[in-house]
Amino acid sequence: MSHYEEVKVHGYDEFCKAVSERKGNDIFAYFSGDIDTQGLSWCPDCVKAEPIVRGEMSHLPEGSVFFYCQVGERP
């Protein structure tokens, strides 16, 4: 079992609601473009950064919350 909770949300409103429901926890957030049919974000910087971020998640504090927030389709 993971020592942190991962929450996937879509958009700012969902993010704010989910964060407010977890007050008192350490919060970490990763914002990314929406995922395409191949399972990748349309944002090339997000595609490069995500494996690095995920590689460090083992260092998150016990009981913390990691939010994966998709911010929308390509403008």
DSSP one-letter string for 4-56 = EEEEEEESHHHHHHHHHTTTTS-EEEEEEPPB-TTS-BS-HHHHHHHHHHHHH
Residue 56 within a domain = yes
43 is annotated as an active-site residue: yes
Q: How confident is the model at residue 75 (pLDDT cuts 50, 70, 90)?
A: confident
Instruction: Report pLDDT for 58.
Output: 95
Instruction: Report pLDDT for 1.
Output: 63
pLDDT at 2 over 90: no
User: Domain residues for 41?
Assistant: 4-70
pLDDT tens by residue, 21-71? 999 999 999 999 999 889 899 999 999 999 999 999 999 999 999 999 999
Please name the helix (run of DSSP H) or strand (run of DSSP E) that holds residue 65, with its range, or none. Answer: strand 64-70
Find the catalytic residue in 27, 43, 49, 60: 43
CATH of the domain at 22: 3.40.30.10
Residue 28 within a domain = yes
Find the catalytic residue in 15, 32, 41, 46: 46
Q: How many domains does the chain have?
A: 1
For the whole model, what pTM was predicted?
A: 0.88
